[in-house]
Amino acid sequence: MPATIVLGAQWGDEGKAKVVDYLTRDADIVARFQGGANAGHTVQVGDTQFIFHLIPSGIMHPGKSCVVGNGVVLDPEAAITEIEDLAAKGISVEGRLFISQNAHVVMPYHKLFDRLGEERQGTDKLGTTGRGIGPAYRDKVERTWGIRVMDLLDEPLLQTRVAAVVEEKNRVLTRLYDHAPLDAADIIRGAVEYGQRLRMYVTDTSQLLNDALSAGKNILLEGAQGTLLDIDHGTYPFVTSSNTTAGGACTGAGIGPTRIDAVIGVTKAYTTRVGNGPFPTELTGTTGERIRELGHEYGATTGRPRRCGWFDAVIVRLAARVNGLTSLALTRLDVLDTVEKLKVCIAYRRGGDVLEEFPGDPQVLGECRPVYEEWDGWCTSTRDVRRYADLPPQARDYVERLSALSRTPVQMISVGPERDATIIMD
């Protein structure tokens, strides 16, 4: 393994946490490198379901260390809640959770601006998770107003800096949004308290990760969201505000690309999306509803119903290209167990042209229609299958076709939420 990236090859919610959970057996450290509490990573252990928003899902494994990297925007309130929830379930993070001092902090006003900004956009809104992600990254890139985790540890600095930031934010709030001003003292008090609560976890995580690699340790880099939500390569502007792709893993963890050995793209056997934006293979009728119910396709963070559609090989080919995928982990094959006829989008048609590669221009994409191949379903349960050879022939044909169309070998197939409901390819 030494350093393996696991990331989403679609619009997020591909089942990355299950794949990370499985691979954590061979890892020493699991690290998040981008995004924030907008993620909802679900892991099923026995009858208990754990949903992680910020802390890497590897924390479930005793003795494994977890890192929240510099590329993450950290909501301290969400982090503390997660630490407390884990403690209540008997899982201690002490001595094995490390938070980057360089990570930017999601402040209360970021969440407020996320909500107000969306309200202002009306029907043109992005459909964000409301977790303050865009406003926090905006302040990071804008450079004047960003607060970093290291700042939370410096009370005198917080007193002056947060006061100045809140003054500026209040100008925008009152004049542009006609909203009551925020109380700077309240926000400073909260920030100081968060710093005290989180101090023990804060360190230089780039140093930690590189030292670990040099010592021969194995690291899993756990992506959040998915390739089509990447700020550069996704369906802009209907994307998140970070680089969800493999390059983002290097910058967001502080690891050079020469240290990465493998990039695993996680994809469902069909496609889903939450929030607004283009989705060429979306099924708006009863088949889409059926897949939603079969797959319990509701957001782990917001509870919103996910939009469902057929597998789109064009988007997974984009993911293979921009991430340099070395393999695919195919999840939720079992959700299709009772679907009699399956469709796979192999290309897009635009007027008289057939496009095999994903068009970056949203206007072109809007004019594209999927070109489908139809496949017979297997109509039998795959939930108990543990060896590839034991899958029904139609399911094997389907998997092999998806792999060929994606130009990437399948390394792992998931046939249920449980850890052992997994098929590893030879």
Active-site annotation, residues: 13, 41
Between residue 292 and residue 331, which ones bind ligand IMP under the rule CB under 6 A? none
Give 193-199 contacts, CB < 8 A, sequence gap 24+.
Answer: 194/76, 194/77, 194/80, 194/105, 194/152, 195/152, 195/153, 195/154, 195/155, 195/158, 197/76, 197/80, 198/76, 198/79, 198/80, 198/99, 198/149, 198/152, 199/152, 199/153
CB of 29 to ligand IMP, least distance (A): 22
Between residue 239 and residue 258, which ones bind ligand IMP under the rule CB under 6 A? 240-241
CB of 230 to ligand IMP, least distance (A): 10
Beta carbon nearer to ligand IMP, 229 or 335: 229
Size of the site for ligand IMP (CB under 6 A): 20
Beta carbon nearer to ligand IMP, 100 or 227: 227
CB of 395 to ligand IMP, least distance (A): 26
Site string for ligand IMP, 87-116 (x = CB under 6 A): ------------------------------
Part in contact with ligand IMP (CB under 6 A); list of ranges 60-68, 95-103, 126-134, 198-206: 126-134
Q: Identify the three-state secondary structure at position 232.
A: coil
CB of 285 to ligand IMP, least distance (A): 22
Give the residue, chosen from 83, 229, 316, 423, that forms a contact with ligand IMP under the rule CB under 6 A. Answer: 229
Place of tokens 């890892």: 27
The answer to whether 239 and 230 have CB atoms below 8 angstroms apart is yes
Which amino acid is present at 415?
V
Residue 326 tokens, joined: 């070395």
How many whole angstroms separate alpha carbon 253 and alpha carbon 33? 5
Angle in degrees, CA 102, 104, 108, rounded to 5: 150
**In this chain, which residue has its C-beta nearest to ligand IMP?**
275
Give the residue, chosen from 133, 264, 333, 391, that forms a contact with ligand IMP under the rule CB under 6 A. Answer: 133
Q: Considering the rule CB under 6 A, would residue 43 count as an interface residue with ligand IMP?
A: no
* Spatial CB neighbours of 323, under 8 Å, sequence gap ≥ 6: 5, 7, 9, 227, 245, 246, 263, 265
CA atoms within 13 A on the CB side of 197: 16
DSSP element (H, E) containing 424: strand 422-424
Part in contact with ligand IMP (CB under 6 A); list of ranges 25-33, 60-68, 167-175, 236-244: 236-244
How many whole angstroms separate alpha carbon 42 and alpha carbon 21? 10
Give the residue, chosen from 24, 218, 225, 243, that forms a contact with ligand IMP under the rule CB under 6 A. Answer: 225
Between residue 273 and residue 292, which ones bind ligand IMP under the rule CB under 6 A? 274-275
Beta carbon nearer to ligand IMP, 225 or 382: 225
| Closest to 33 in 3D by CA, of 3, 64, 10, 77 | 3
CB of 398 to ligand IMP, least distance (A): 24
Beta carbon nearer to ligand IMP, 218 or 244: 244
CB of 126 to ligand IMP, least distance (A): 5
Q: What is the largest CA-CA distance in the chain?
A: 66
Part in contact with ligand IMP (CB under 6 A); list of ranges 149-157, 181-189, 208-216, 223-231: 223-231
Q: Considering the rule CB under 6 A, would residue 39 count as an interface residue with ligand IMP?
A: yes
Give the residue, chosen from 38, 65, 100, 323, that forms a contact with ligand IMP under the rule CB under 6 A. Answer: 38
List, in sequence order, the alpha helices (H) in 15-130: 16-23, 76-88, 108-121
Beta carbon nearer to ligand IMP, 239 or 255: 239
Handedness of CA 59, 274, 242, 131 (dihedral sign): negative
Handedness of CA 372, 373, 376, 382 (dihedral sign): negative
Q: Considering the rule CB under 6 A, would residue 131 count as an interface residue with ligand IMP?
A: yes
Give the residue, chosen from 3, 10, 12, 28, that forms a contact with ligand IMP under the rule CB under 6 A. Answer: 12
Q: Identify the three-state secondary structure at position 257.
A: helix
Residue 374 tokens, joined: 């139809």
Beta carbon nearer to ligand IMP, 28 or 222: 222
Q: How many CB atoms lie within 10 A of CB 56?
A: 29
Q: Considering the rule CB under 6 A, would residue 75 count as an interface residue with ligand IMP?
A: no
Task: Write out the DSSP string of 335-360.
Answer: GGTT-SEEEEEEEEEETTEEE-S--S
Give the residue, chosen from 4, 24, 65, 128, that forms a contact with ligand IMP under the rule CB under 6 A. Answer: 128
- Per CB under 6 A, residues contacting ligand IMP are 12-13, 38-40, 126-129, 131, 133-134, 224-225, 229, 238, 240-241, 274-275
